[in-house]
Structure 1
Amino acid sequence: MGLSDTSLESTMEHRLWVGAGAASVMGLLAKAVTASHSPEDAAVICVSALAAYSLSDLGTGVYHWGVDNYGDAKTPVFGSQIDAFQGHHKRPWTITKRQFANNIHAIARPVALFLAPFLALPSNPALDTFLGLFLGFVVMSQQFHAWSHMKKSQLPPLVIALQDRGILVSRKMHGAHHRSPYDINYCIVSGLWNPFLDKNRIFPSLEAFIHSNYGVAPRSWAETQPEWLQEGSYFEDGSEINLEQQQQQ
């Protein structure tokens, strides 16, 4: 939920774009599989799939860092996303109330448009697998993000198991992002890249470079603005997050 966009329900347009995104991803993966005729091709597909999974986590982290720290609702192209992420910091639990298509349609739409031409090109199993899964994970990252804001009692056992094993971003890891100055754990697919990025201060180094060359400071450097301050509780039932007890929730 953004600061200006307070809609939580899916519309027919949302569902159609999610359907188009899913069809383009599945079509590309089907093209890759049907063009695979040898053990070598199968190995290439597996490597491409692992690369897509890993790099999609990194990609969501870079994007999340960018929209959290730069621009505003009036920024061309990315304004609505910036508004949504700022609003999310103010009312974190509302992401769990977004209906599925409402939550991911804004990412599914450009993915569907971008992948459509690749469906007509000659098959390249490595490229098709990578593009399909990379963008598929990016689209679903917002749902993984929503799950990281739910208690165990609200989640299916499979999702809990994937979170506990670090395959999907965990509630504990993402919960740490919702503490001032909101400058760690940006990745929201698996969180695999978060320890590396934070330990090596990758984003602070980029912020320093941008500031020294362009004079633009990130939001995380400034005192928390009112629109970022959490309104109410972390969870919808009125309770607050406790990072040390998150695994028991």
Structure 2
Amino acid sequence: MPPLQFEEESWQSTRVQLACFASGCATVMISVAKFISMFLSKSTGLRSRIESIFAVVVGYVLADFLTGIVHWAIDNYGDPKHPVSGPQIEAIQCHHQQPWILAKRHVATNIYIQGVVATLLFSPVNMFCEDLNLLAFTSVFACCGFFSQQFHAWAHTPRRKLPPVVVVLQDSGIILGPSHHAGHHQPPFDRRYCIVSGFCDWFLDKSNFFVGIEVVLFHMLGVEPVSWGTKSLL
């Protein structure tokens, strides 16, 4: 794949991107605030609070897992020539050639699409849901999914340029750290796909989860993933 050239102007966000980002932020903040309010309510019992903490953990782990699935799919099967999603797919695939570009882009440029998805999926939950466990799950899942690409960008940002709280979160493993994610940027770029924290990478890589799916898809559809072609060049 030839190197993708980025114009410096493309690092800045458009008004539409800023609006989508703001909408996603508002949706996620409302979701988290509603969960915390119900969690701290005097009418909420100890058992319900314990169950909601379990739902938080499930939402966090599932978000990490699904970002790995999406990242793997786009890296290996995304079509840069698609009329709608092509530019985004091309930028993501060429990220392997110029990974530092991600850290240069404005946060709204990085995650405005996730803002649209978060608004559409979780606004109805914010408005109508009164179940503590569901709110616990959706608030954390929405927050992690929405900010996952920014966690990814921070993993490519020099530590001296990061806010101290981000460095603490990276060092504690709560969000994606640069040392862990560096393993993804080693040819053939076929591991450590998860970008919330990378927690699920241990299972996915050890079990050859993605390799198994790739083999099945190859035998069913005759399509090779991009990573197979990269391996042949090593």
Matches within 5 A, 1:148-159: 148-159=155-166
Task: Give the secondary structure class of the aligned counterpart of 1:92.
Answer: coil
Where in structure 1 do 4 or more consecutive aligned residues deviate above 6 Å? Answer: none
CA gap 1:105/1:28 in 2 versus in 1, 3 angstroms:
same
Partner residue in 2 for 1:17: 20
Partner of 2:34: 31
Unaligned runs of 5+ in 1: 226-249
Query: CA, structure 1 residues 16+183, in 2 after alignment: closer, same or farther (shift >3 Å)?
Result: same
Question: Amino acid of the residue matched to residue 66 of structure 2?
Answer: G
Residue matched to 2:170: 163
Could you tell me how far 1:183 is from its partner in structure 2? 0.3
- 1:54-133 equivalences under 5 Å are 54-75=61-82, 78-133=85-140
What's the counterpart of residue 208 of structure 2?
Answer: 201
Q: CA offset at residue 90 of structure 1?
A: 1.9
Query: Could you give the per-residue CA deviations for residues 134-187 of structure 1, whole angstroms, max 9, x where no partner exists?
Result: 121011111110111122222222222222221111111111111211001101
Runs of 5+ in structure 2 lacking a partner? none
SS of residue in 2 equivalent to 1:89: coil
The amino acid across from 1:143 in the alignment is: Q
TM-score by length of 2: 0.87
Closer, same or farther in 2 for the Cα pair 1:140/1:120, shift >3 Å?
same
Q: Tell me which residue corresponds to 1:50.
A: 57
SS in 2 for 1:180: coil
How far off is 1:224 after superposition? 7.2
After superposition, give the CA deviation of every residue in 1:37-58 in whole Å (9 maximum; x if it has no partner): 2222222221111111111111
Q: 1:34 to 1:152 in 2, by over 3 A?
A: closer
- Alpha-carbon distance in structure 2 between the residues aligned to 1:152 and 1:5: 23
RMSD between aligned alpha carbons? 2.3
| Corresponding residue number in structure 2 for 1:215 | 222
Q: 1:133 to 1:4 in 2, by over 3 A?
A: farther
> Does the C-alpha gap of structure 1 residues 150 and 29 become closer, same or farther in structure 2, counting only changes over 3 Å?
closer
Aligned residues: 225
Greater shift after overlay, 155-164 or 136-145?
Answer: 155-164
Percentage of matched positions with identical amino acids:
37
Q: Which segment is superposed worse, 216-225 or 100-109?
A: 216-225
